[in-house]
Amino acid sequence: MKKSSKWKSFGTVAMAVFCLLYVLPSFFEEQLPVWYTNMFKSRISYGLDIKGGLELEYTVDWKKAVLDYCVKNSEGITDRFLELWTKKRIDEISDAERTKLRPRLTIEPMRPFSRGKLRLIFTNKDDAKLFGNQWLKDKNINDFGVSSTDETGTNTIVEVKLLDSKIAEIKKQAVKQTLEIIRKRAEGFGLAEPDVRQSGDSNIVVQLPGLKKSQMKQVKEQMGRPARLMFRIVEEKLDVVKKIGETYLPQYKKLYPTGSRSLRYVESDRESGDTYIRSDSKVELARFIRWMSDQRAGKRPVIPSDRMLAMQKVQRRNETNQVTTVFYRTWYLLSKIQLDGKHVTKANVYYDKDNKAYVSLDLDSVGGRTFQRVTRKYVKRLLAIMLDDDLESAPQIREEIGGGRVRIDLGGVNAQEVLQDAQNLVVVLTHGAYKAPVYKVSENEVGPQLGQDAINEGKLALMVGGALVLL
């Protein structure tokens, strides 16, 4: 009994000591050594009642996303008929030919837009006879089905409807993507404790404890703006990144020692060979990138105006596809946007003959021609796929790509990792297809309901309670 009692006492003391060590960084982070705060990374989060701040609520207009998706697919239907009429690929058809042939087919979205219906007006009945569910399937336009056909004079009117399952998917993805984008923006502002969550069917509530008055205007302006899908080129010359890592990063760490604990310069990554700045904290790296992008008085900016630093979340997995390491890193890019995500019409995961997953990306006619010019100019370079300022993937351009259909191959340790990366990339790319406006429903600046004295008393009570347990 005595032996058992000793073990119980030892266990109680050990648990109390661990708990005390665990919570200390929440109270004395600046006084503790870096190795200690890196070991115990969790912090007590203070809500709006304690710290005050800003509460915002947005609603996602998913019906506009349905309309946008229908309009883009209507362009795809027109392009397929142009190819049929001219016996040419879409990128080979001249503007004069397009102008001459377009009156043969008019496509209009039908109200209410949330139902996803299109009206196709054919002036040539032979064209209308070619069109149908099988034609849609053959042209890889699988999300629509013919609902009715009617002849009026010399015209044939065909109505097609977006599948209910696709409408539900667009709604779900539009809200999900917007939620993630707003969360990333909150973290990008350097806010360590943002609370972003879905409320009801399509609303999003954002709570930002501790937000300063001076930051509120900027946050209100940028938090709810639509995200932008973009394609940029990765810079090959990394002399600026080397200068940042060897000269400016040490300066920054001296200026902000508690806000740069995990920041470090990687001259050559052991897996990829890349050169970059990395951090275990997105907030830390976002603040450093913002600091580097600011122009210092009387000095030329380190990063040229036609270049930029972007950030990527990196997840390293083992052979069993378990995530073993998560960190954030920089990419050095040409700042010019080579292709806007508004030209993306569809993205899906497919499998090659070896059963390896890849991403198939469809572009509209304008996007297809633009992408062909870009890939012709930048063969063997890396193409950065970005949502706002976050880089999501950087595949290599192997050859010139025309026709508006792009295949993106992904690297990975195993087939499951490749599939996971492909699925994640499709979610990002479909943001170009599911463009949903965001509207502010309410905003509320909240003052702290509990005073600093109450907070200090709580801290003291916690420490005294821990000490009494040890005694």
Shared domain check, 398 and 325: yes
Q: What tens digit of pLDDT does each residue of 87-117 get?
A: 998 778 888 998 999 899 999 999 888 889 9
Give the mean model confidence (pLDDT) for residues 349-361: 89
Shared domain check, 281 and 147: no
Give the mean model confidence (pLDDT) for residues 288-302: 73
Shared domain check, 278 and 133: no
- Contacts for 84 with CB less than 8 Å, ≥ 6 apart: 130
Mean pLDDT of the chain: 84
Last residue of one domain, picked from the residues 166, 190, 205: 166
Shared domain check, 416 and 307: yes
Please give the residue that has the higher pLDDT: either 369 or 302: 369
Helices marked H in 198-316 — which ranges? 213-223, 239-243, 249-255, 282-293
Shared domain check, 384 and 250: yes
Shared domain check, 252 and 128: no
Residue 454 falls inside a structural domain:
no
Q: pLDDT band at 194, cuts 50/70/90?
A: confident
Query: What is the spatial distance between Cα 37 and Cα 434, in angstroms, rounded to a whole number?
Result: 41
* Residue 136 tokens, joined: 């849609």
Residue 212 falls inside a structural domain:
no
Shared domain check, 142 and 236: no
The single-letter DSSP state of residue 194 is -
The CA dihedral of 87, 90, 96, 97, to the nearest 10 degrees, is 30
- Which residues sit opposite 11 in a β-bridge? none
* Residue 27 tokens, joined: 């109270």
What pLDDT, on the 0 to 100 scale, is given for residue 187? 75
Residue 448 falls inside a structural domain:
no
Please give the residue that has the higher pLDDT: either 382 or 410: 382
What pLDDT, on the 0 to 100 scale, is given for residue 36? 64
Give the mean model confidence (pLDDT) for residues 416-424: 83
Shared domain check, 282 and 139: no
Instruction: Give the other-Cβ count within 10 Å of 65's Cβ.
Output: 27
Largest CA distance in the chain: 101
Q: pLDDT band at 458, cuts 50/70/90?
A: low
Instruction: Give the other-Cβ count within 10 Å of 148's Cβ.
Output: 11
- Which residues sit opposite 199 in a β-bridge? 203
Domain count, the chain: 3
Query: What is the spatial distance between Cα 199 and Cα 205, in angstroms, rounded to a whole number?
Result: 6
Instruction: Give the closest residue to 443 by CA, choosing from 246, 269, 211, 163.
Output: 211
Residue 102 falls inside a structural domain:
yes
Last residue of one domain, picked from the residues 166, 181, 208: 166
The single-letter DSSP state of residue 317 is E
Shared domain check, 383 and 299: yes
Residue 235 falls inside a structural domain:
yes
Query: What is the spatial distance between Cα 391 and Cα 310, in angstroms, rounded to a whole number?
Result: 6
Residue 451 has pLDDT above 60, yes or no: no
Q: Is 403 left (phi over 0), alpha (psi -120 to 50) or beta?
A: left
Residue 211 falls inside a structural domain:
no
Contact (CB, 8 A) for 45 and 193: yes
Shared domain check, 91 and 26: no
The parent domain of residue 134 ranges over 64-166
Residue 175 falls inside a structural domain:
no
Residue 269 falls inside a structural domain:
yes
Q: pLDDT band at 258, cuts 50/70/90?
A: confident
What pLDDT, on the 0 to 100 scale, is given for residue 3? 58
Shared domain check, 389 and 256: yes
Please give the residue that has the higher pLDDT: either 138 or 106: 106
For 153-263, strand residue ranges (E) read 155-162, 195-199, 203-209, 229-233
Shared domain check, 236 and 296: yes
